[in-house]
């Protein structure tokens, strides 16, 4: 089952600023930091990630999407909130009917601390994660990844490139090697 992680970017940034007791948040630097941390986390977890920032109060802002570091980044257009974009995306990914949701092979997890959005996504069969939980999980993933890297360095004689490959790539290469 594939997993899609949808993140309300500003919601997470503001929670991070509160946690770090930052009084005035530099949004540009905060967005870049979050993009890099989420890219690492997504790779570690093996999920597709969509990071959503809204431009709700901006004049002349238009919806734009780009991909950086393996994650999709969405800036909503004028008069569209991140919440409304997330609700629509969950609805599209999970299916439009109860029957489609039942057999849908996509697990959707939404990161937001907004109670109303959490209720809507739960009703569509998605899972919720608070901003605090995401920040804690990203930190734990970073720690686990660092430990794993150190263990691999210690056993340098047993370090193989196949240990660092995606499972599908490794299987495909193995099949080629065996002539299948």
Domain extents in the chain: 2-177
What top-level class would CATH report for the domain 2-177? alpha beta
Closest-CA residue to 45 (of 93, 97, 111, 94): 111
Round to whole Å and give the CA distance between 112 and 116: 10
CB-based contact 52:72 (threshold 8 Å):
no
Task: Give strand ranges (E) for the chain.
Answer: 2-8, 48-53, 64-68, 71-75, 106-111, 127-129
Q: Would you say the C-alpha torsion 92, 95, 101, 104 has a positive or negative sign? A: negative
**Least-confidence region, from 49-53, 160-164, 173-177:** 160-164
Query: For residue 11, what pLDDT is reported?
Result: 92
14: its two tokens: 């503001």
pLDDT in tens, 63-105: 889 999 999 999 998 878 899 999 999 988 887 666 666 667 7
Query: For residue 153, what pLDDT is reported?
Result: 72
pTM tops 0.75: yes
């Amino acid at each position: 089952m594939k997993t899609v992680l949808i993140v309300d970017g500003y919601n997470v940034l503001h929670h991070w600023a509160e946690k770090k007791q930052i009084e005035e948040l530099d949004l540009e630097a905060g967005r870049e930091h979050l993009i890099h941390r989420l890219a690492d986390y997504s790779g570690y977890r093996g999920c597709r990630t969509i990071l959503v920032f809204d431009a709700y109060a901006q004049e002349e802002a238009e919806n734009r999407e780009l991909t950086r570091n393996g994650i999709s980044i969405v800036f909503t257009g004028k008069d569209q909130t991140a919440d409304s974009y997330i609700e629509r995306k969950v609805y599209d990914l999970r299916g439009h009917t109860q029957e489609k949701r039942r057999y849908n092979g996509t697990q959707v997890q939404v990161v937001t601390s907004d109670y109303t959005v959490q209720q809507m996504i739960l009703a569509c069969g998605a899972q919720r994660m608070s901003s605090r939980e995401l920040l804690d999980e990203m930190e734990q993933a970073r720690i686990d990844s660092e430990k794993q890297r150190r263990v691999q360095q210690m056993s340098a004689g047993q370090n193989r490139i196949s240990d660092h490959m995606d499972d599908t790539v490794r299987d495909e290469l193995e099949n080629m090697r065996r002539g299948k």
